Structure 1
Amino acid sequence: MYNWNLQSDIDNDQIVTEIEKSQIQHDDSSEGIIFRHLLATATANETENPRIPIYVKFPLLESHWRELKSLNPDLYAAARAYYIYARAVNDFDGSSLRINVTVPALRRLKHEVLETGSKTATAIVSVWLSMELTLANPIQAINELEYALPHLPARASTRTLENALSSATAHEWLRIAFTELSVPSRAYFHSMTIIKQSSLNDGSVTWAYFTSIDSLLLQTKYEDALLTSNRALEFVKNRNSELEMFLILYQKLRVLLMGFQQTRDSEIRSVINKMDTIDTVQIKTQAEELFYLYQSYKAIAESDENLLSKAIEQYKKAMLESLPSTEFRAEHLLKKELELTRIYDAAGNYEKAYEHSKVYNQLLFEKNTEQFKLSSPSLTDGIARDIALARYRQQELAALRDEKIGLSTDKEAMKTTIFALITTILIILALWLWIAKRQSDTLAERDSLTGALTRRAMLKSLKKALKSDSTSCVALLDVDNFKKINDRYGHLVGDEVLTTLTQTIQKRIRKSDKLCRYGGEEFLIYFSDTDQQSAKRILDELNASLSRQKLWSGTDQKFSVSFSSGLLDVNGETNLDTIIKACDDLLYKAKREGRARVAAFSF
């Protein structure tokens, strides 16, 4: 989901191969259904680039989420939090207004996973909540991150949804947040924590070194920055990555130029020579803006004003060209102005540096103003919620206190009340047992799926009815091709067909008639005081009505259903075995003659 349509360590073709290998398209477990929906939702609004090749076969139900939560609370928290976010991004077409939906939904999810007792699950939801709160209230976002941080999973090399927003991600977001709040000491702390805690020898550690040097430069701690850049160079030597080597050399060059330009000329020249040996084409492809920043610092070191002017213009152009493709427009523009401020400051052009510093401050002001505009009482009014809770507790305590006073002031009255209460309870209990028995008897006579009579209840009822009603008909129905419906569309759709048939019949027959589910997809109808011609007309009408039903909630595919039936005019016959056997023979005759029809006979 996160790497689709992006230049990363896994491309679209590899992702398609992984999807096919996982057989997720054919996995109809709750987890399979959930992840098909996640994959489909991830690129649902994609118009210019390809979407993830996955299609949804079943609706995503609350029962699927419940099953996943019982199996794996951490995975449930990560999957549901992502689904809340992705659905809102689609519904609001990427607009920040989505937070009016996502923030309350994620808060509800956080309270829900707290009940599972999983600290990791709660921390995962808190990180997603902090990401959305960043758009409305950065201070609350920081609180959520620090709340989650002790229990977040450590970054792992495997791609798992729980690991998508790891402790390393939280430290990186906190570094960025504290940098914007002009607290570089905290930004440095979070960068170094990533380095100390990481057990992986990967690019995330290199970026942590890169940002820690940045934080030290903001504090003008040049000696510490130089020591950190040297440690970072020792780390990337074993990484076999020209880009990572370029990143750290670039940071060391900035440290030397900003803190030691007059005293370490030979070391500056040595760093430039090393950077010039790295494949320029590869660096420009992977980090074009960074390459032009390096050219700018190189021009400062060589006092080449023409090269400096050209490099700055190329950097501006590269940043503006990449602006439409970034989701973080404000951060992108802030980065551009901050880097230009630093370059002109290092070059000694303080007038230009001041101009870009003013633009940076204005952009930062606008960004923070816009963020806090999105903040609304529904997202931030915690005091109101706490006051409402406190009032509720006070009312409970007052009620208990009044009850205690009442008990102590009139013990005799209470004895009478208790006696009357016990008597009332016994009466209610007896009544309840009588009603429960009646309901139990009624439920025992009804099929749990369709609500029609059971076979036992129907046969019992028919014994009485046939003795008193000589002009009646009995029909045995069977749904045509029911096994194929179950095999093709699933048992849920099969159950829906049976309930729909039952409802259709019950709406058409009279109260004096009787319907039972005789077994599986077979139904028995007793038409009281009805001749064969009238009963056949009703059966034909039912078949016609059922054929018009083509939409089913359990599948997107359209199809219609029919039934075959054997109809018998009993004509005074009272032997149930004889009647059922005759109906069964007639039913199979209707099947042989082509289905969706009535085969009738009269004793």
Structure 2
Amino acid sequence: MSAWYRFTRLMVWLLPIIFLAPFFCASQVADPSQLRLDKLNKYSHLAAVAIYNWNSTTDIDNAQIVSMIEKLNIQNDDTSEGIIFRHILATATANETEKPRIPVYVKYPLLKKHWDELKEMNAELFSASKAYYIYARAINDFDRSHERFGVTVPLLRNLKIEALDTGNRTATAIASIWLAMELTLESPIQAINEIEYALAYLPTRSSTLTLENALDSATAHQWLRHMYTELSVPSKAHFHSMKIIDERNQSDEFITWAYFTAVDSLLLQSNFKDALSTSDNALSYANNRDSEHEVFLTLYQRLRVLLLGFRQTHESDIRDIIRTLDATEIKKIEAKSKELAYLYQSYKAIFEGDKKQLSIAVERYKEEMLNTLHSTGFRAEHLLRKELELTRIYDAAGDYKKAYEHSKAYDQILFEKNTEQFKFSSSSFTDGIAKDIELAHYRQKELASLREQKEGLSTDKEAMKTTIFVLLLTILLILVLWLWVAKKQSDLLAERDSLTGALTRRAMLNSLKKSLKSNKTSSIALLDVDNFKKINDRYGHAVGDEVLTTITQIIKNRIRKSDKLCRYGGEEFLIYFSDTDEKSAKRILDELNVALSRQKHWNGTDEKFCVSFSSGLLDVKGETNLDRIIKACDDLLYKAKRDGRARVASLSF
């Protein structure tokens, strides 16, 4: 065998390997852009889980959420998405004072470039994330008051325009549904329009919760069902309940409730035949779910249908249902919903003609509804449901006088609720005709100006050019000056807390980055007003605000110009002591507490009381990592709280 032959055979074997090796290697290296998209999906899931479950009694507790945060290492991710989601998680519990906050801390300010980068990567997540951030910031800034709508509605409208510019329909729908959520209280009719606008492109329900599907199509249908019920359009309410059922892609309790509300809408229309048919389908679905509570709920609804529409012809069916429901362990039902248990007992008493038992069941129902009123965030809806159910019970019992009384009470609550809602509606959101007229006038003036310029140019062209140039230059200079002044005012307002006049958190953190690098001897203290929630609860928010402004003034009067003070959040303050060691800073903090204890008279109340604060003090000793410093101060603050409040817990790095 010749050497040439052996060489040729070797090359035949090697050439495929040489050509295929790069493709094989490339397939083994993960695409960086895909890895980043995968990370975004995980961050979206984490944010949604944390927002909906933190400090709540759900299947996912705080420890599991902390584990997710640590596993994803989001605190050390300095990409745009890392900065965005740290801000989202920190904002979610920023005003929390009684319970723990989500242990994520912001390191850098959130800028437009970060949002733009997220928009390029995932337009749908951009819409959902920014919408929630707008909402959460306003909730914190306005302490959940309706004044926030003046901020959230314009910002969410702008977000919707941004989403439209991406050409992504789902991203636009997500921005629109968040806008609708705010408009539900601000302008209900506009809210309905926004939901209908978004409905076709909203994400469907999913077993994996993310920010994108947090407000999904099923939620939109549920909102529309509720709003159309209040507007006395039960046919539309029934349509949206059935859409939830028809479009379901998973089996859960949400579908059982959709059946319940569908039957409810048919009862409001006195369409007992279709109500009974829908009730059959609901019972079949509930039996397949293997949930005792859902079966009980569905049978109770069927009992109402039969009592209201088929009492004379289906007596044996009614007795069978009552026997089945009585066989259920009622304590389990009461543990999940006392309201449901008492409603069933009321209809059972109606069928059996037991007026005494009916009276007992109704009183228990009323008492339960009043007991749970304080824990609901939807007071008017809660009272409306109560009056509607009592109207139906007394109507079924033949006590038309009481039924009429509760019907009047229902109408009065609904009237007050709608009056309150539409009172919030701002003409700046709805006055489209005025805007169109203003635009038409502007165009007419513009056309008239162009005609005059044309006529003038025909007679004295050069003079007119000079005049126009001077005019435009003057306008430009005025505009530049106005923008400069506006920017200065905006920057100043952005750096100062509107209540206390202290620096904002963002301004403070930006300032500290420079100060810590140039100043080796400095201390930082994190203060928290002791028992501030009790002060708010007992004396009101006006007195609470007075306490915060008084503390700010006392601190400002004591510290130097080279020191810095910011309102860090709620009743928390952050002080930077320049060129000050731990011992000197602690002495100043103790003096501040003494000075504050002398303040016992308050403008907002005749009662006398004094205030104190607890503080975590850190001598940074050249440390420049803000996250470590703030975390250490926070830990020391909680130590001071545990040790009895009105004291300083200090440490040196």
- Same structural fold, with TM-score higher than 0.5 when normalized by the shorter chain: yes
1:21 is matched with which residue: 52, 71, 75? 71
Q: What is the aligned partner in structure 2 of residue 139 from structure 1?
A: 189
Which amino acid letter does the alignment assign opposite residue 219 of structure 1?
Q
Where structure 1 has 5 or more consecutive residues not aligned to the other structure, the ranges are 425-491, 502-546, 560-603
Q: What is the aligned partner in structure 1 of residue 121 from structure 2?
A: 71
Q: What is the aligned partner in structure 2 of residue 313 from structure 1?
A: 363
Distance 2:357 2:291 in 1: 27
Q: What is the aligned partner in structure 2 of residue 197 from structure 1?
A: 247
Listed one character per residue, the Cα deviations across residues 537-581 of structure 1 (whole Å, up to 9, x for unaligned) are xxxxxxxxxx9599999946679xxxxxxxxxxxxxxxxxxxxxx
Distance 2:82 2:461 in 1: 63
Distance 1:198 1:322 in 2: 31
Q: What is the aligned partner in structure 2 of residue 375 from structure 1?
A: 425
Q: Secondary structure at the match of 1:28?
A: coil
Distance 1:276 1:145 in 2: 42
Q: What is the aligned partner in structure 2 of residue 33 from structure 1?
A: 83
- Greater Cα shift, 65-74 or 180-189: 65-74
Q: What is the aligned partner in structure 2 of residue 166 from structure 1?
A: 216
Distance 1:303 1:15 in 2: 53
Q: What is the aligned partner in structure 2 of residue 85 from structure 1?
A: 135
Aligned pair in 2 of structure 1 residues 350, 80: CA closer, same or farther (>3 Å)?
A: same
Contact 2:516 2:623 in 1 (8 A): no
Q: Secondary structure at the match of 2:166?
A: coil
Distance 1:311 1:417 in 2: 88
Which amino acid letter does the alignment assign opposite residue 72 of structure 1?
N
Listed one character per residue, the Cα deviations across residues 212-262 of structure 1 (whole Å, up to 9, x for unaligned) are 001000000001000001011111222122222122111111101111112
Aligned pair in 2 of structure 1 residues 355, 66: CA closer, same or farther (>3 Å)?
A: same
Distance 1:186 1:61 in 2: 43
Distance 1:395 1:119 in 2: 37
TM-aligned CA deviation for residue 499 of structure 1: 10
Distance 2:211 2:339 in 1: 31
Aligned pair in 2 of structure 1 residues 45, 278: CA closer, same or farther (>3 Å)?
A: farther
1:389 is matched with which residue: 435, 439, 442? 439
Q: What is the aligned partner in structure 1 of residue 144 from structure 2?
A: 94
Which amino acid letter does the alignment assign opposite residue 94 of structure 1?
R
Where structure 2 has 5 or more consecutive residues not aligned to the other structure, the ranges are 1-50, 470-509, 520-577, 581-619, 631-653
Distance 1:318 1:498 in 2: 57
TM-aligned CA deviation for residue 124 of structure 1: 1.0
Which amino acid letter does the alignment assign opposite residue 60 of structure 1?
L
Aligned pair in 2 of structure 1 residues 183, 558: CA closer, same or farther (>3 Å)?
A: closer
Report 1:224-303 matches (<5 A).
224-303=274-353
Which amino acid letter does the alignment assign opposite residue 168 of structure 2?
S
Q: What is the aligned partner in structure 1 of residue 261 from structure 2?
A: 211
Aligned pair in 2 of structure 1 residues 54, 385: CA closer, same or farther (>3 Å)?
A: same
Aligned pair in 2 of structure 1 residues 63, 210: CA closer, same or farther (>3 Å)?
A: same
Q: What is the aligned partner in structure 1 of residue 555 from structure 2?
A: none
Distance 1:368 1:94 in 2: 19
2:92 is matched with which residue: 42, 59, 81? 42
Listed one character per residue, the Cα deviations across residues 253-304 of structure 1 (whole Å, up to 9, x for unaligned) are 1101111112211111111222233342332222221121111112112222
Contact 2:186 2:425 in 1 (8 A): yes
Distance 2:373 2:330 in 1: 23
Aligned pair in 2 of structure 1 residues 314, 9: CA closer, same or farther (>3 Å)?
A: same
Contact 2:176 2:198 in 1 (8 A): yes
Q: What is the aligned partner in structure 1 of residue 387 from structure 2?
A: 337
Q: What is the aligned partner in structure 2 of residue 443 from structure 1?
A: none
Q: What is the aligned partner in structure 2 of residue 360 from structure 1?
A: 410
Matched, 1:3 2:53: yes
Q: What is the aligned partner in structure 1 of residue 171 from structure 2?
A: 121
Distance 1:552 1:71 in 2: 36
Larger radius of gyration: 1
Which amino acid letter does the alignment assign opposite residue 258 of structure 2?
A
Distance 2:137 2:461 in 1: 61
Distance 1:558 1:41 in 2: 19
TM-aligned CA deviation for residue 14 of structure 1: 3.5
Listed one character per residue, the Cα deviations across residues 317-351 of structure 1 (whole Å, up to 9, x for unaligned) are 11111111111111111111111111111111111
Matched, 1:351 2:401: yes
Which amino acid letter does the alignment assign opposite residue 196 of structure 2?
E
Contact 1:236 1:245 in 2 (8 A): yes
Distance 2:327 2:96 in 1: 40
Contact 2:517 2:624 in 1 (8 A): no
TM-aligned CA deviation for residue 3 of structure 1: 2.6
Q: What is the aligned partner in structure 2 of residue 437 from structure 1?
A: none
Distance 2:143 2:511 in 1: 34
Report 1:409-488 matches (<5 A).
none
Matched, 1:57 2:103: no
TM-aligned CA deviation for residue 496 of structure 1: 5.7
- Greater Cα shift, 356-365 or 6-15: 6-15
Aligned pair in 2 of structure 1 residues 197, 265: CA closer, same or farther (>3 Å)?
A: same
Listed one character per residue, the Cα deviations across residues 198-224 of structure 1 (whole Å, up to 9, x for unaligned) are 222222211111110010000000010
Distance 2:370 2:624 in 1: 49
Matched, 1:110 2:157: no
Listed one character per residue, the Cα deviations across residues 120-149 of structure 1 (whole Å, up to 9, x for unaligned) are 111111111111111122111111111111
Listed one character per residue, the Cα deviations across residues 427-458 of structure 1 (whole Å, up to 9, x for unaligned) are xxxxxxxxxxxxxxxxxxxxxxxxxxxxxxxx
Distance 2:57 2:320 in 1: 32
Contact 1:242 1:279 in 2 (8 A): no
Aligned pair in 2 of structure 1 residues 388, 417: CA closer, same or farther (>3 Å)?
A: closer
Distance 2:68 2:292 in 1: 29
Aligned pair in 2 of structure 1 residues 176, 92: CA closer, same or farther (>3 Å)?
A: same
Which amino acid letter does the alignment assign opposite residue 176 of structure 1?
H
TM-score after normalising by structure 2: 0.62
TM-aligned CA deviation for residue 86 of structure 1: 1.1
TM-score after normalising by structure 1: 0.67
Contact 2:453 2:464 in 1 (8 A): no
Aligned pair in 2 of structure 1 residues 103, 494: CA closer, same or farther (>3 Å)?
A: closer
TM-aligned CA deviation for residue 48 of structure 1: 3.7
Q: Secondary structure at the match of 2:144?
A: coil
Report 1:536-575 matches (<5 A).
555=626
Which amino acid letter does the alignment assign opposite residue 148 of structure 1?
A
Distance 2:180 2:387 in 1: 26
Contact 1:41 1:87 in 2 (8 A): yes
Which amino acid letter does the alignment assign opposite residue 202 of structure 2?
L
For these two proteins, the number of residue pairs brought into alignment is: 440
Report 1:496-507 matches (<5 A).
none
- Greater Cα shift, 275-284 or 150-159: 275-284
Aligned pair in 2 of structure 1 residues 298, 391: CA closer, same or farther (>3 Å)?
A: same
Listed one character per residue, the Cα deviations across residues 467-503 of structure 1 (whole Å, up to 9, x for unaligned) are xxxxxxxxxxxxxxxxxxxxxxxxx9999689979xx
Which amino acid letter does the alignment assign opposite residue 279 of structure 2?
S
Contact 1:58 1:554 in 2 (8 A): no
Q: Secondary structure at the match of 1:41?
A: helix
Which amino acid letter does the alignment assign opposite residue 106 of structure 1?
L
Identity, % of aligned positions: 62
Q: What is the aligned partner in structure 1 of residue 236 from structure 2?
A: 186
Contact 1:493 1:552 in 2 (8 A): no
Computed over aligned residues only, the root mean square deviation of the Cα atoms, in angstroms, reads 3.1
TM-aligned CA deviation for residue 398 of structure 1: 4.8
